[in-house]
Amino acid sequence: MSKQYFFATTAKGVEEVLAAELARLGASEVAAESGGVRFGGGMEAAYRANLWLRTASRVLMPLGEFPCETPEQLYQGVLALEWQKYLTPAKTLAVDCNLRDSALTHSGFVALKTKDAIVDQLRDRFGSRPSVDTKDPDLRVNVRLFRNRCTVSLDFSGTPLDRRGYRLDRHEAPLKENLAAALVELSGWDGSTPLVDPMCGTGTIVIEAAMKALRIPPGLSRKEFGFQRWEGFDGPLWNRILAEARQGMLAELPAPVQGSDISHSAINMAAQNASRAGVLDRIALGRCQLAELEPPPGPGVLILNPPYGKRLGEEEALKPLYKEIGDVLKKPLAGYTAYLFTGNLELAKSVGLKATRRMVLYNGPIECRLLKYEMY
């Protein structure tokens, strides 16, 4: 049998961080590409990746790749794959599609054509066809068209991996869980020193940091992964991986993790989210204005994700807040390193300090920066 490869997707700018995570998990032939990381291994590697990857969005299993410039090429390429291995008429399916720099430009059409080829093949074979369920399918198929090359994959994860299941409440512009985890990774924080988020909103950064330091797998509180409904799902292997993960979890954080926010309701939501994530009694959460921040003794890491205003006029109104951030960072915070995540470089100038490192990351379509400030 030829060797199986997988592809873990992530936000642009996070590929190297994800590649490092995969290498630590013991995946083989790890190679970062645009938008994700390719890796090799068997089912066990894919199960582990789904449970453990903090910065990935999905784990895909490519079934086939072919040149594709026309609807007919797409249809024939999908038809050539052996769908009866994965689907029967009794199962439901959904097709997701990502397109870039290709002759076919309508993702809805590409998804529809792919679905047509799959169900036509199965109808020819079984006399009836599986139906489509876009919300909760038994099998999610992913089509990626990039520069007229089409990759058709099975989506191992089902619901994207950033939806850990702990965050139900929404406040002002929450970060996706896997992006928050990427900020923690990019800050270089290893869990052995304090981590502080003084604008924590719904708590995503501190919750992700605490889960990392406590060695809680990010997928532990998920109800289900896509692969658990597949033909041939290896239940005993999965249970062994889960049991191993539970055994390795720590009871206490090695160093404090602290989140605060000016908003009462944000702190309430952060507490509820932290409770669902199983870390509430391990982290410190409280209402506090940035200007009154009192971090634990350093060295440590400070991560700030202030609002960055998408509409005209908001930028002006937010300048004083960015100036206040600068004032806080100019205070003696002995041994702390600060990271500011923002989608607005104009506003970042109001901080009035020179960043020693600038990392480009995407929050959805918004080009953002993670700026590093050393404090003396």
Ligand X SMILES: C[S@@+](CC[C@H](N)C(=O)[O-])C[C@H]1O[C@@H](n2cnc3c(N)ncnc32)[C@H](O)[C@@H]1O
Instruction: Give the integer Cα–Cα distance in Å for 15 and 155.
Output: 18
Cβ proximity to ligand X, 124 vs 314, nearer residue: 314
Smallest gap from Cβ 308 to ligand X, in A, equals: 7
The single residue among 263, 268, 272, 350 that binds ligand X, judged by CB under 6 A, is: 263
CB of 302 to ligand X, least distance (A): 13
Stretch that binds ligand X, among 57-65, 122-130, 170-178, 184-192 (CB under 6 A): 170-178
306 binds ligand X (CB under 6 A): yes
What is the sign of the dihedral through the CA atoms of 99, 68, 36 and 372?
negative
Tell me how crowded residue 135 is: count the other CB atoms within 10 A of its CB.
7
Contact status: 20 vs ligand X (CB under 6 A): no
How far is CA 243 from each of CA 48, 68, 353, 363, rounded to the nearest angstrom?
12, 44, 47, 34
Q: Is 361 in the site for ligand X (CB under 6 A)?
A: no
Which residue of 219, 261, 348, 359 would you call a contact of ligand X, by CB under 6 A? 261
Single out the residue of 171, 212, 210 nearest to residue 305, CA to CA. Answer: 171
Q: With contacts defined by CB under 6 A, name the span among 8-16, 65-73, 216-224, 258-266 that binds ligand X.
A: 258-266
Distance of CA 315 to the CA centre of its chain: 28
Counted residue by residue, the chain has a size of 376
Q: Where are the beta strands (DSSP E) in 136-197?
A: 139-146, 149-155, 195-197
- Choose, by CB under 6 A, the member of 31, 173, 280, 355 that binds ligand X: 173
For residues 103 and 291, which CB has a smaller minimum distance to ligand X in the complex?
A: 291
8 Å CB contact between 147 and 101: yes
Select the span of 44-52, 169-177, 294-302, 342-350 touching ligand X (CB under 6 A). Answer: 169-177
Nearest residue to 198 (alpha-carbon basis) of 363, 346, 354, 333: 333
Q: Binding to ligand X by residue 171, rule CB under 6 A? A: yes
Q: Which residues bind ligand X (CB under 6 A)?
A: 171-175, 180, 198-199, 201-202, 204-205, 261-263, 266, 289-290, 305-307, 321
